[in-house]
């Protein structure tokens, strides 16, 4: 039995597949909560040294502050130092010209409660010399996502998709609930790591099942639509944090609802493709027959019978089994190696800028909740643009334009004075919109660039390398805190711009036959001329075969071209 044969009757995106697909899309919402929630869990409110026992944050007492707290070069009150003077509830009088020793905060800190009641920063005093620990908790979430994508991906291939995402959901619920009750920074960090594992594991496995259930013509759409649900989770995270304002309560609020999704183990079917790959034909047949009933179609019995392989196919299968390719095989081919390095750099830059701007939204604008909500909202038009243009101008040019415009806008933000917060926020959100668009495409682009023998290992390594960028992003923000405010814009803008320009060195995959062998992968895009680098792709690039034995290949490429170009498929019988 071949699932692709069954899809010819079920339809590429029939009613049954739509129900399963949109059911799985809902999992993206809690995944977004736990991937980005640390922005509020570890938010750092305005603060300065505590001046005496029982002192609360108050910068309106000009005389007291002038006596007790020095000013920084930009005129704001120092957050980490105070004057060595004795101050009590009754206040103190001092002469502005009187020399006073400046010392670190020796009585702790007081925090502004305008936006946050309690965060991990206020509870564990993760400020001043401890500020790097705050960024550590963010990086551990992203390190967990790196581990989760690898571990759950392997588990999904070995034990099944349903078991993998159910385990990830159990970790999300159990660890998230437990994390809301911890009161030590070490445990907080450990919990954040495992929440990253669960968020990535759940999302990766869910999108695999979702895309494996649809046909070729809808895979690109399936890869984009699920991102809308991720944006819903992104925006709703801001609303949850705004309403609750205490990190313990926020963590509990985003960890309990995923309990509902544990019922998916009994509702969502296992991937028929995985079942067939494991020889579980009877189980796959049962799912296909149920889908046929829901879609109100009839599938011929011949589809469920195993066709004997021709001698040529047997030799190809035997060769495929005997020869296992590794990442080092990919590196042995110069053109494949070049394409891998470029797409990995683009992927890393996407992760660096995407997560950097997501976390940076806390410091942009006048209201951190609104800034974060806006950062999620701008992703929606980016995905709409992707859906409209992905099949018309190609992956290469969309990524190039998105990242170039995003990089330039972020570099321009450096010239905006720090007191013009609204203008800075608008320009930063333009950058966020652009990077979100390219982020949604880069995974698909990488899949199409690598030849079949190394496609999984090539994409897997790309995903691994890209996580280095996301893990580094909080520390770029930390360097901005200790150097100058515009540094994140400089770093993010430079990486985005360089990645956008480097995209021109890659061939576009729009309408092209996916390379099936290492030789085809090496030949694809090799020796491009300067003119070809800037040439728009041919939407219906189909090999010209006259002989009948290549009609199936022609039909397959036509179908692929139709999927990319949003045109109808016409094949010859």
Give the tens place of pLDDT for each residue, 433-447. 999 999 888 888 888
Residues belonging to the chain: 573
Is there a common fold for 1-45+113-299 and 326-539?
yes
pLDDT for the residue numbered 307: 55
Q: Where are the domains of the chain?
A: 1-45+113-299, 48-111, 326-539
CA 446 to chain centroid, in Å, comes to: 15
556 or 306, greater pLDDT: 306
Name the pLDDT band for 570 (thresholds 50, 70, 90): very low
Helix axes 3-10, 281-295, angle to 10 degrees: 10
How far is Cα 418 from Cα 411, in angstroms, rounded to an integer?
14
In 3-state terms, what secondary structure has residue 537? Answer: coil
- Alpha-helical runs (H) found in 367-486: 368-377, 379-389, 394-412, 421-449, 455-482
Phi, psi dihedrals of residue 332, rounded to the nearest 5°: -75, -15
Please state the separation of Cα 303 from the chain's center in Å. 38
Packed helices 28-36 and 161-179: angle between N→C axes, nearest 10 degrees: 40
Q: In the prediction, which pLDDT does 539 show?
A: 55
Cα gap 17→210, rounded to integer Å: 8
The CB-side HSE value for 274 (13 A sphere, CA atoms) comes to 22
pLDDT at 48: 92
3-state secondary structure (DSSP) of residue 332? coil
pLDDT band at 215 (very low <50, low <70, confident <90, very high): confident
What is the assigned CATH class of domain 1-45+113-299? mainly alpha
Question: Per CATH, which fold does 326-539 belong to?
Answer: Growth Hormone; Chain: A; (1.20.1250)
pLDDT digit string, tens, across residues 253-285: 999 999 999 999 999 999 888 888 888 899 989
Over range 463-489, report the average pLDDT.
90
């Amino acid at each position: 039995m071949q699932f692709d044969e069954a899809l010819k009757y079920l339809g590429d995106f029939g009613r049954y597949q739509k129900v399963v697909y949109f059911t799985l899309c809902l999992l993206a919402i809690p995944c977004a909560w736990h991937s980005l929630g640390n922005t509020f869990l570890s938010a750092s409110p305005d603060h300065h040294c505590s001046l005496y026992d029982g002192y609360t944050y108050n910068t309106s007492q000009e005389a007291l502050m002038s006596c007790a707290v020095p000013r920084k070069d930009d005129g704001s009150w120092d957050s980490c130092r105070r004057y060595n003077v004795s101050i009590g509830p009754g206040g103190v009088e001092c002469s502005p010209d009187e020399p006073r020793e400046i010392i670190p905060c020796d009585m702790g800190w007081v925090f502004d409660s305008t936006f946050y009641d309690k965060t991990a920063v206020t509870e564990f005093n993760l400020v001043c010399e401890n500020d790097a620990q705050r960024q550590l908790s963010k990086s551990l979430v992203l390190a967990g996502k790196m581990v989760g994508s690898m571990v759950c991906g392997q588990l999904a291939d070995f034990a099944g998709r349903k078991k993998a995402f159910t385990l990830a959901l159990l970790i999300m619920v159990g660890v998230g609930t437990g994390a809301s009750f911890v009161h030590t920074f070490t445990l907080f960090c450990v919990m954040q790591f495992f929440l990253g594992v669960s968020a990535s594991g759940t999302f990766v496995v869910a999108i695999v099942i979702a895309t494996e259930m649809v046909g070729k013509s809808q895979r690109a759409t399936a890869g984009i639509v699920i991102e809308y649900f991720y944006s819903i989770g992104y925006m709703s995270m801001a609303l949850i944090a705004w309403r609750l304002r205490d990190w313990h309560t926020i963590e509990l609020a985003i960890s309990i609802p995923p309990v509902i999704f544990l019922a998916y183990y009994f509702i969502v079917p296992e991937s028929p493709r995985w079942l067939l790959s494991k020889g579980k034909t009877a189980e796959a047949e049962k799912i296909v027959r149920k889908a046929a009933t829901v879609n109100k179609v009839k599938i011929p019995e011949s589809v469920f019978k195993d066709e004997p392989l021709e001698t040529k196919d047997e030799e190809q299968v035997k060769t495929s089994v005997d020869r296992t390719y590794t990442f080092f095989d990919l590196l042995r081919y110069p053109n494949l190696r070049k394409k891998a390095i470029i797409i990995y750099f683009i992927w890393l830059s996407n992760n660096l800028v995407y997560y950097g701007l997501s976390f940076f939204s806390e410091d942009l604008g006048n209201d951190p909740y609104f800034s974060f909500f806006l950062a999620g909202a701008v992703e929606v038009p980016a995905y709409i643009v992707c859906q409209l243009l992905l099949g018309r101008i190609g992956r290469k040019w969309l990524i190039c334009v998105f990242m170039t415009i995003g990089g330039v806008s972020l570099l321009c933000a450096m010239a905006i004075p720090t007191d013009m917060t609204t203008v800075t926020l608008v320009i930063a959100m333009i950058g966020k919109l652009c990077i979100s668009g390219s982020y949604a495409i880069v995974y698909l682009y990488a899949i199409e660039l690598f030849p079949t023998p190394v496609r999984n290992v090539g994409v897997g390594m790309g995903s691994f390398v890209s996580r280095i960028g996301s893990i580094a992003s909080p520390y770029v923000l930390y360097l901005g805190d200790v150097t100058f405010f515009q540094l994140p814009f400089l770093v993010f803008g430079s990486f985005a711009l360089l990645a956008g320009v480097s995209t021109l060195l890659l061939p576009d995959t729009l309408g092209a036959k996916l390379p099936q062998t290492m030789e085809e992968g090496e030949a694809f895009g090799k020796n491009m001329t300067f003119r070809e680098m800037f040439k728009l792709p041919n939407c219906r690039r189909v090999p010209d075969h006259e002989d009948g034995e290549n009609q199936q290949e022609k039909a397959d490429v036509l179908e692929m071209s139709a999927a990319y170009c949003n045109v109808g498929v016409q094949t010859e019988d």
